[in-house]
């Protein structure tokens, strides 16, 4: 995410961290099976590992055996290594993790001090031996060692976050970044809390601004609130039966229920202190001769609903400086809407980051959307994914990157010649 200082296009795509220019966006291209989703999966693993491994007994030995390189299979003593460098709380950290079939080989957190040669070690672990940059008591260290001995795959960051063993700002900031500042959106991520989230966070204004600027054809999105009893009188029998089953199962619980359509809630029913409110999305859509009609979620296209699932992530990247990773950002969305969505993010001032995988070549426009140093490519080389930047190529700022990519000048496209022999064989038969 470091910018090329010789490229002057889109200066609003850059912000500074400790005097170092950082890019807001990265688009990752590559053929199917080239490793784009594996990149996303690695970040999903790290996020879950650091936030959940202290209270989850993962079968990490099988995870290692399933995820190690297998073309050919490497020896079991060669670890999988993952590393992330990130900025939070005014500091830049690097987290490095190595895992093999027996457990964590090494786990390290350092303050990398951009622009300087030195680093500050926050903690360094080798198997069950740990050194911290601050003095801790022998009793606390024994708690760490005891937990690691019982689960050699557990994370030091996760242990400290889960059990609050050391009140250390660096440890807390790093764990909090993975928990709250790294947001990963998969293709099939359902968002059952979406109605509640948008209604409580003052996000409706943002949603309507985004919908208006990308040209979705929706004049306004609103959230209706209806008394539960009134809603029950108007509802389908199936909705009533579903709620009654839940009420019988949890008679003394305050309920917060979402009835889903695909990945988006159709309705959200909240019950608190005896008051029950039903919330629904209401889409004001343009019709014939300027007519504006109100429609609900069940009348919306899959593309519109997919856009809705991206709203919290986009909002957090812009207003909460989160790092958002979206797998297949163009999935189910028209190319022009995808293009306008990326332009909206690029034109909006923020210190968040948007990293996404895509096949949508219309985004490869260095005059309107992306700088070459914001484009990354994945290609399989002897079974392994090689990831490289379009910035590695000498590209004049007037050429069409889209045409060059489709012509195969930069690699990272399907190898059609590999399947030609099969077609030839079938034709002969």
In a domain, 1, yes or no: no
**DSSP-H helix ranges across 14-155:** 36-52, 60-67, 138-150
Q: Is 102 part of a structural domain of the chain?
A: yes
pLDDT digits (tens, 9 = 90+) for 296-312: 898 998 889 999 999 99
> Is residue 83 within 8 Å of residue 97, measured between CB atoms?
yes
Same domain, 286 and 415: no
Assess contact for 94 and 85: CB atoms under 8 A. Answer: yes
Q: Is 209 found in the same domain as 289?
A: yes
Confidence of residue 417 (pLDDT cuts 50, 70, 90): low
Domain boundary among 134, 165, 185: 185
- Indicate whether 235 belongs to any domain: yes
- Is 70 exceeded by the pLDDT of residue 347? yes
CA 184 to CA 43: how far, in whole Å? Answer: 8
- Beta pairing, strands 275-286 & 218-227: antiparallel
Q: Are residues 98 and 59 in the same domain?
A: yes
> Within this chain, do residues 170 and 47 fall inside the same structural domain, yes or no?
yes
Whether residues 276 and 218 fall in one domain: yes
Question: Does a structural domain hold residue 427?
Answer: no
Residue 333 φ/ψ, nearest 5 degrees:
-115, 135
pLDDT of residue 427: 46
Q: How far apart, in Å, are the Cα atoms of 377 and each of 103, 340, 405? A: 32, 22, 10
pLDDT in tens, 141-190: 999 999 999 999 999 999 999 899 999 999 999 999 999 999 999 988 88
Based on the domain organization, do 346 and 380 belong to the same domain? yes
Q: What is the tens place of the pLDDT at every residue in 250-271? A: 555 555 778 788 889 888 887 7
User: Does residue 200 sit in the same domain as residue 278?
Assistant: yes
Cis omega (within 30 of 0) on the bond before 72? yes
**Which of these three, 267, 284, 303, is where a domain ends?**
303
Is residue 119 in some structural domain?
Answer: yes
Of 131, 162, 185, the last residue of a domain is 185
272 and 298, same domain (yes or no): yes
Phi first, then psi, for residue 20 (nearest 5°) are -100, 125
27 and 91 together in one domain: no
Domain, as residue range, for 156: 43-185
Q: Are residues 148 and 175 in the same domain?
A: yes
Asked if 88 and 176 touch (Cβ cutoff 8 Å), the reply is yes
Shared domain for 366 and 326, answered yes or no, is yes
Q: Is residue 340 part of a domain?
A: yes
The answer, yes or no, to whether residue 227 has pLDDT greater than 50, is yes
Q: What's the full length of the chain, in residues?
A: 429
**Domain check: are 312 and 299 in the same one?**
no
How many domains are there within the chain?
3
Residue 428 inside a domain? The answer is no
Of 1-15, 30-44, 227-241, 372-386, minimum mean pLDDT range: 227-241
In this prediction, residues 101-129 reach a mean pLDDT of: 92
Tell me the pTM: 0.89
């Amino acid at each position: 995410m470091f910018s090329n200082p010789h490229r002057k296009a889109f200066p609003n795509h850059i912000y500074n961290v400790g005097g170092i220019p950082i890019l807001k966006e990265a688009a990752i291209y590559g053929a199917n099976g080239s490793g784009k989703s594996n990149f996303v999966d690695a970040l999903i693993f790290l996020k879950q590992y650091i936030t959940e491994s202290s209270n989850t007994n993962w079968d990490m030995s099988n995870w290692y055996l399933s995820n190690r390189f297998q073309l050919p299979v490497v020896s079991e003593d060669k670890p999988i290594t993952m590393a992330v460098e990130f900025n939070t709380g005014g500091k830049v950290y690097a987290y490095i993790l190595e895992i093999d079939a027996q457990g964590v080989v090494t786990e390290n957190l350092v303050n990398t001090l951009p622009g300087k040669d030195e680093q500050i070690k926050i903690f360094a672990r080798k198997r069950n031996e740990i050194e911290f940059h601050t003095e801790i008591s022998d009793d606390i260290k024994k708690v760490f060692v005891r937990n690691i001995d019982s689960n050699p795959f557990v994370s030091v960051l996760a242990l400290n976050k889960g059990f609050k063993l050391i009140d250390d700002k660096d440890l807390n900031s790093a764990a909090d970044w993975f928990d709250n500042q790294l947001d990963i959106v998969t293709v099939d991520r359902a968002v059952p809390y979406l109605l509640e989230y948008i209604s409580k966070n003052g996000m409706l204004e943002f949603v309507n601004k985004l919908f208006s600027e990308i040209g979705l054809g929706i004049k306004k999105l609103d959230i209706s609130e209806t008394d539960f009893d009134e809603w029950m009188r108007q509802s389908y029998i199936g909705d009533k039966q579903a709620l009654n089953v839940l009420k019988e199962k949890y008679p003394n619980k305050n309920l917060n229920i979402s009835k889903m359509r695909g990945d988006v809630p159709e309705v959200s029913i909240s019950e608190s202190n005896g008051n029950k409110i039903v919330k629904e999305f209401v889409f004001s859509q343009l019709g014939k001769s300027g007519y504006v009609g109100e429609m609900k979620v069940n009348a919306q296209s899959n593309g519109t609903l997919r856009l809705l699932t991206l709203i919290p992530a986009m909002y957090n990247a812009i207003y909460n400086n989160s790092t958002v990773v979206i797998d297949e950002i163009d999935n189910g969305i028209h190319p022009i809407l995808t293009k306008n969505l990326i332009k909206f993010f690029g034109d909006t001032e923020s210190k968040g980051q948007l990293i996404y995988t895509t096949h949508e070549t219309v985004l490869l426009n260095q005059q309107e959307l992306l700088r070459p140093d914001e484009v990354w490519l994945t290609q399989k080389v002897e079974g392994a994914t090689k990831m490289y930047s379009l910035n590695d190529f000498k590209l004049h700022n007037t050429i069409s990157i889209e045409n060059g990519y489709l012509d195969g000048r930069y690699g990272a496209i399907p190898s059609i010649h590999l399947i030609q022999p099969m077609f030839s064989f079938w034709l002969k038969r």
